[in-house]
Amino acid sequence: MSPEFLRRKNPGARPTAEAGPPTPLPEEVTAQEYQLKLHYAGKSSAGVRFKAGPRTIDEIPSMLAGIARSDVEVVEPLPIEYSQATPSIVHPSEAMQWLNAHHANSPITRHALMVLESIDAVDLAFDTFACGLLEGEIDTSGYPEYSAIVGGVASHWDEGNGDLVLRAVVGWGGRGVRGDTDRNGARILGGLLTNILANQYSMGLTALERPVPAAGRGGLVCAHCGFASAHERAFYCPKCGMRLLRG
Ligand SMILES: [Zn+2]
């Protein structure tokens, strides 16, 4: 004889809970509220045109002199294998690429990239970014507080003529906002732009638009430095600035 629990139930049987009369639904549901407000913001200056060349690239970190309150780290454009890298943890493939690309950077740089990539102020498909802590505090793990201002100088190659275009970029954000951060960000942006324009290789402000980020599967491999660009329309290697050979 099979045990009680293996017996077939009567297929027509309905639950026979000996419940009392049904509890009426409450007029209003009592809910426990949860909320997290994140606030990211930033500013980018107009572009400043430079004659292309290794001298200019080497000069860029010095443009943060007197402004940066940490070491300045230079982040180079991402190669094709990181073309989907995005600082968004709910997209694991993109997030893994982003972490693999940036896990060796300093906490300040990683925070700056997360803020500035999230608000689309920096795009490592074509930008080279020299950045550091510009104002405010870091926590005990070395990460900037929400009111700290991070940023520096982003540069990319003008696809028209191969000139280098530099711009000042600052950003901040996290769990909170402070009333004076926007004004301080504008002041620091002005200081960075002054440093860029004061450089001996500067050719002045340019109205050039930023390149349209690559949507496809990336561009060409640089014959000069071997960099595989993730920027589909690039005519100049995002990393070394040499003309890419097509066809
Ligand atoms: Zn190259």
Span from the CA of 81 to the centroid of ligand 1 (angstroms): 16
CA 78 to ligand 1 center in whole angstroms: 12
Residue 245 lies in a domain: no
Classify residue 170: in a domain, yes or no. yes
What mean pLDDT comes out for the span 17-26? 73
Q: For residue 244, how far is its CA from the centre of ligand 1 (angstroms)?
A: 8
- Asked, for residue 140, whether it belongs to a domain, the answer is yes
- 51 compared with 190, residue with greater pLDDT: 190
Which of 158, 169, 170, 148 is closest to 50 using CA atoms? Answer: 158
On the question of pLDDT at 8 being above 60, the answer is no
Residue 154 lies in a domain: yes
Please say whether the beta carbons of 132 and 158 come within 8 A.
no
The larger pLDDT score, comparing residue 247 to residue 116, is at 116
Residues 6+ apart with CB under 8 A from 102: 75, 85, 109, 110, 113
Q: Does residue 61 have a pLDDT over 60?
A: yes
In a domain, 46, yes or no: yes
Q: pTM of the predicted model, to two decimals?
A: 0.81
Beta bridge partners of 171: 42, 150
Q: What is the maximal distance between C-alpha atoms in the chain?
A: 97
Q: How far is the CA of 201 from the centre of ligand 1 (A)?
A: 21
Residue 92 alpha carbon to ligand 1 centre in Å: 30
Q: Report the number of distinct structural domains present in the chain.
A: 1
48-52, 70-74, 243-247: least confident range: 243-247
Domain residue limits at 89: 39-206
Decide if 105 is inside a domain. Answer: yes
CA of 200 to the centre of ligand 1 (A): 24
Surface-to-core class of residue 122, CB atoms within 10 Å of its CB (0-12 exposed, 13-18 middle, 19+ buried): buried
Q: What is the pLDDT of residues 161-185, one digit of tens each?
A: 788 999 999 999 999 889 999 999 9
Burial of 107 (0-12, 13-18, 19+ CB in 10 A): middle
C-alpha 13 to ligand 1 mean position (Å): 75
pLDDT in the model for residue 100: 97
